């Protein structure tokens, strides 16, 4: 738990293997004093510590050091620009960011810590978090960037138990090998009642090349976050977007070119607009992307509750569409959100 308003988040960094507190070396590095990783300090690349247990990570130590912790896949350029333009704005994330900030505003207590998992780039709609002056926003990713404070693997988050107030994880869970373990890590580092926002694809084709592993239905996504009471959940993009994506990937497959696939389907971007006219049930059953906003509970969802969720998500989806995100409370969920 965070106890004082003066505690620095850096003081709650722990070893990714044994989770003991890290000690500072004379030259400003960080080192474990406890386990087999203790023999040398953690590497520092471009001024950022690399807090990774390489023996148990998708990251390779030599490759990270040789590339100065660059992204394993190429980013930016025309692809990123075009993808942002074609995918349009995220209508849910900005509202959740505002709702999260409102719930974290605790006058007289500590500055809230928001941890962005996979924060190598600012997620669509997350801008308000980065602009907020009264929180500590901490970002990490498996590569170093302007928006990361350290390099780490989400399978072993180098933070002490209960040291974080909220986690933002957008378009990341499909890219980790063991999403259950990553969510367990999120549960561990969050304080009781801590918040999570996840934005995750459902009917979204493979992206990020070799680093794309899993998809979820709405109920599967809810089960992944079973240690959280739901505040809001639903589609972040619907069947119109899913159709556009399918056509884009079809065009790419036929022309054997991702660039052509993007360009040929540019005239069809209006398909995205159909999302807002789709009925909630059908929309959830065929969404391109899903979101979950919840708070950590000690009364996890059970299997009966999971089955009930299929119907319970309809009012949640309706509330999310009407913009009434922060007020939603669902019968049958494990506990009441704080605030
Ligand atoms: C599709 S990008 C999304 C980036 C950003 N969150 C956004 O919404 O634009 C997926 C991100 O997950 C990161 N990632 C993949 N595996 C990871 C892991 N094991 N731990 C932390 N981040 C990871 C990638 O490096 C990449 O930055
Ligand atoms: Zn250790």
Residues 104 and 152 in one domain: yes
Find the 32 Cα to ligand 2 centroid distance in Å. 5
Considering only residues 28 and 152, tell me which one the structure prediction assigns the higher pLDDT: 152
In a domain, 268, yes or no: no
Give the tens place of pLDDT for each residue, 161-215.
999 999 999 999 999 999 999 999 999 999 999 999 999 999 999 988 899 999 9
Residues 44 and 153 in one domain: no
Domain that holds residue 125: 77-238+278-322
> How does residue 19 score in pLDDT terms, banded at 50, 70 and 90?
very high
Exposure string for 313-328, b = 16+ CB within 10 A, e = fewer? bebbbebbbeeebbeb
In a domain, 266, yes or no: no
Instruction: Report the nearest-CA residue for atom 3 of ligand 1.
Output: 171
The average pLDDT across 1-9 equals 57
Query: Which DSSP string corresponds to 165-203?
Result: EEEEEES-GGGSS-HHHHHHHHHHHEEEEEEEEEEEESS
Residues 84 and 190 in one domain: yes
In this prediction the pTM is: 0.93
Confidence at residue 3, expressed as pLDDT on a 0 to 100 scale: 42
Residues 289 and 205 in one domain: yes
Residues 186 and 129 in one domain: yes
Confidence at residue 5, expressed as pLDDT on a 0 to 100 scale: 45
Residues 18 and 134 in one domain: no
Q: Is the pLDDT of residue 338 over 50?
A: no
Residues 315 and 189 in one domain: yes
Q: Is the pLDDT of residue 296 over 60?
A: yes
Residues 220 and 307 in one domain: yes
Q: Is the pLDDT of residue 336 over 90?
A: no
Q: At CA 272, angle to CA 169 and CA 130, rounded to 5?
A: 30
**Domains in the chain, number:** 2
In a domain, 192, yes or no: yes
Instruction: Report the nearest-CA residue for atom 10 of ligand 1.
Output: 172
Secondary structure (3-state) at 303: helix
Give the tens place of pLDDT for each residue, 203-215.
999 988 899 999 9
Residues 47 and 86 in one domain: no
Element (H, E) at 296: strand 289-296
Spatial contact of 301 and 308, defined as CB atoms under 8 Å apart: no
* Ligand 1 in reach of 30 Cβ (< 6 A): no
From the CA atom positions of the chain, what is the Rg in Å? 20
* Ligand 1 in reach of 289 Cβ (< 6 A): no
Confidence at residue 333, expressed as pLDDT on a 0 to 100 scale: 40
Give the ligand at the shortest distance from the Cα of 34.
Answer: 2
Residues 55 and 81 in one domain: no
> How does residue 322 score in pLDDT terms, banded at 50, 70 and 90?
confident
The residues, any chain, with a CB within 8 Å of residue 38's CB and separated by 6 or more, are 31, 32
First and final CA of the chain: distance in angstroms?
A: 18
> How does residue 327 score in pLDDT terms, banded at 50, 70 and 90?
low
Strand order across the 135-141 sheet: 150-151, 135-141, 112-117, 164-170, 190-201, 289-296, 228-237
In a domain, 228, yes or no: yes
Number of the ligand 1 atom closest to the C-alpha atom of 59: 19
Q: Is the pLDDT of residue 294 over 70?
A: yes
């Amino acid at each position: 738990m965070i106890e004082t308003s003066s505690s620095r988040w850096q003081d709650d960094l722990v070893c990714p293997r044994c989770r003991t507190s890290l000690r500072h070396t004379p030259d400003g590095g960080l080192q474990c004093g406890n386990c087999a990783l203790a023999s040398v300090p953690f590497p520092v690349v471009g001024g950022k510590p690399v807090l990774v247990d390489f023996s148990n990570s998708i990251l390779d130590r030599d490759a990270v050091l040789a590339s100065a912790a660059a992204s394993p896949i190429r980013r930016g350029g025309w692809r990123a620009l075009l993808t942002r333009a074609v995918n349009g704005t995220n209508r849910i994330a900005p509202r959740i960011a505002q709702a999260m900030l409102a719930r974290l505003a605790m006058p007289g207590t500590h500055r809230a810590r928001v941890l962005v998992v996979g924060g190598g780039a600012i997620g669509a709609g997350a801008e308000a978090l980065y602009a907020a002056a009264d929180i500590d926003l901490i970002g990490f990713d498996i590569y170093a960037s302007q928006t990361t404070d350290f390099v780490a693997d989400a399978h072993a988050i180098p933070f002490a138990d209960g040291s974080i107030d909220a986690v933002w994880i957008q378009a990341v869970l499909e890219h980790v090998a063991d999403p259950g373990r990553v969510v367990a890590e999120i549960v561990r580092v969050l304080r009781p009642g801590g918040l999570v926002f996840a934005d995750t694809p459902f009917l979204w084709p493979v992206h990020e090349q070799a680093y794309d592993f899993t998809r979820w239905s709405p109920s599967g996504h809810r089960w992944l976050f079973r240690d959280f009471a739901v505040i809001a959940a639903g589609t972040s993009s619907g069947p119109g977007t899913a159709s556009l994506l399918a056509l884009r990937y079809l065009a790419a497959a036929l022309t054997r070119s991702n660039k052509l696939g993007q360009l040929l389907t540019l005239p069809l971007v209006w398909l995205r607009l159909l999302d807002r006219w789709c009925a909630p049930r059908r929309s959830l059953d065929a969404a391109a992307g899903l979101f979950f906003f919840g708070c950590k509970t000690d009364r996890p969802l059970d299997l009966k509750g999971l089955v009930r969720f299929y119907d319970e998500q309809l009012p949640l989806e309706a509330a999310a569409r009407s913009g009434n995100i922060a007020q939603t409370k669902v019968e049958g969920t494990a506990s009441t959100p704080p605030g």
